[in-house]
């Protein structure tokens, strides 16, 4: 399978003629959409998530005002970076105060965004999920440490719970919330029924669960039929399974380039013709 980094030279038109659904939030979808289109694919945007500010910044601001008291600052998503920087400025602080704090980022996209703000993430695990961070740390390293974690209102608790079990004090503050948009499902339903969609991509568990909710809580397989489902990683793929579907495509590298590489690899091995011609 071509790696995400070598894909450009290996498969320049690997998605030619493929119509692919992007369910990522509209504000986040550009990188995925652009990469698919560069490889000859056609995007059908169907965002199942909207990202909005939290309703209350009290706890967030209290933590930021005492940022110097933390030993670790861990970002579990790129979405937490901009809100953190915004609250830092509003609280009269600046990035220079982070010099003595260990910064962790679950994935390279998050680390790159931090770097753009002049913040170096010392910890970027090989496995781009909470378990990857935990494999890099240890109870001895974290005992007695203070950890700040700006993240979504709803997220898996494995990282803060484990760090607390290891003896760390973990403050989880809500940096953003994801809400359910209200797109018209009829156009996509017609294309799926006409077998005119080649794949539906999911970049988080929330994109999957919201997709099912938008189609009025039907079982996932009943919504998509035999349309291939592509997931950014095994946790998202498990959510697909839990909601009655099967992820035929799962990225080996849990990033957007990794997801695109998995799509190219799948269609490169598939005898399926692009479905566009079968649209009713």
Model confidence over 109-158: pLDDT tens digits?
899 999 999 999 999 988 778 888 999 999 999 999 999 999 988 888 99
pLDDT digit string, tens, across residues 161-186: 999 999 999 999 999 988 899 989 99
DSSP codes of every residue in 183-229? ---HHHHHHHHTT---EEEESSHHHHHHHHHHTTT--HHHHHTT--E
Model confidence at 278, in pLDDT bands (50, 70, 90)? very low
Residue 214 has pLDDT above 80, yes or no: yes
DSSP codes of every residue in the chain? ---TTTHHHH-TTTTTT-EEEE-S-TTTTHHHHHHHHHTT-EEEE----EEE--S--HHHHHHHHTGGG-SEEEESSGGGHHHHHHHHHHTT--GGGGTTSEEEESSHHHHHHHHHTT---SB--SS-SHHHHHHH--HHHHTT-EEEEEEESS---HHHHHHHHTT-EEEEEEEEEEE------HHHHHHHHTT---EEEESSHHHHHHHHHHTTT--HHHHHTT--EEESSHHHHHHHHHTT---SEE-SSSSHHHHHHHHHHHHHH--PPPGGGG--
pLDDT digit string, tens, across residues 63-76: 999 999 999 999 99
Residue 187 has pLDDT above 60, yes or no: yes
**85: which 2 tokens?**
């920087």
For residue 173, what are the β-bridge partners? 150
The whole-number pLDDT of residue 276 equals: 57
Residue 264 has pLDDT above 80, yes or no: yes
The whole-number pLDDT of residue 279 equals: 46
Sign of CA dihedral 27, 18, 201, 279: positive
Rounded to whole angstroms, the Cα distance separating 20 from 23 reads 10
**187: which 2 tokens?**
């156009």
Mean pLDDT of 261-272: 88
Of all residues in the chain, the percent with pLDDT exceeding 70 is 92
């Amino acid at each position: 399978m071509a790696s995400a980094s070598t894909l450009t030279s290996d498969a320049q038109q690997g998605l030619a003629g493929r119509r692919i659904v992007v369910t990522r939030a509209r504000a986040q979808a550009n990188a995925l959409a652009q990469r698919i289109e560069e490889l000859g694919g056609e995007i059908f945007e169907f965002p199942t998530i909207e990202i909005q500010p939290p309703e209350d910044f009290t706890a967030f601001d209290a933590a930021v005002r005492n940022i110097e008291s933390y030993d670790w600052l861990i970002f579990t998503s790129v979405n937490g970076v901009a809100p953190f920087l915004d609250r830092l400025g509003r609280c009269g602080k600046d990035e220079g105060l982070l010099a003595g704090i260990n910064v962790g980022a679950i994935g390279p996209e998050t680390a790159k965004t931090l770097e753009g703000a002049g913040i170096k993430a010392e910890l970027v695990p090989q496995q781009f999920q909470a378990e990857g961070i935990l494999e890099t740390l240890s109870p001895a390293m974290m005992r007695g440490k203070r950890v700040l974690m700006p993240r979504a209102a709803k997220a898996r608790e494995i990282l803060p719970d484990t760090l607390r079990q290891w003896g760390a004090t973990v403050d989880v503050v809500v940096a953003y919330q994801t809400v359910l948009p209200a797109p018209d499902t009829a156009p996509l339903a017609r294309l799926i029924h006409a077998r005119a969609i080649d794949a539906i991509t999911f970049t988080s568990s929330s994109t999957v669960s919201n997709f099912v909710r938008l189609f009025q809580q039907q079982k996932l397989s009943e919504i998509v039929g035999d349309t291939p489902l592509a997931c950014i990683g095994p946790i998202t793929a498990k959510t697909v399974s839990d909601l009655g579907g099967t992820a035929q495509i799962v990225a080996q590298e849990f990033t957007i380039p990794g997801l695109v590489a998995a799509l190219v690899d799948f269609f490169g091995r598939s005898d399926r013709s692009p479905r566009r011609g079968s649209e009713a």
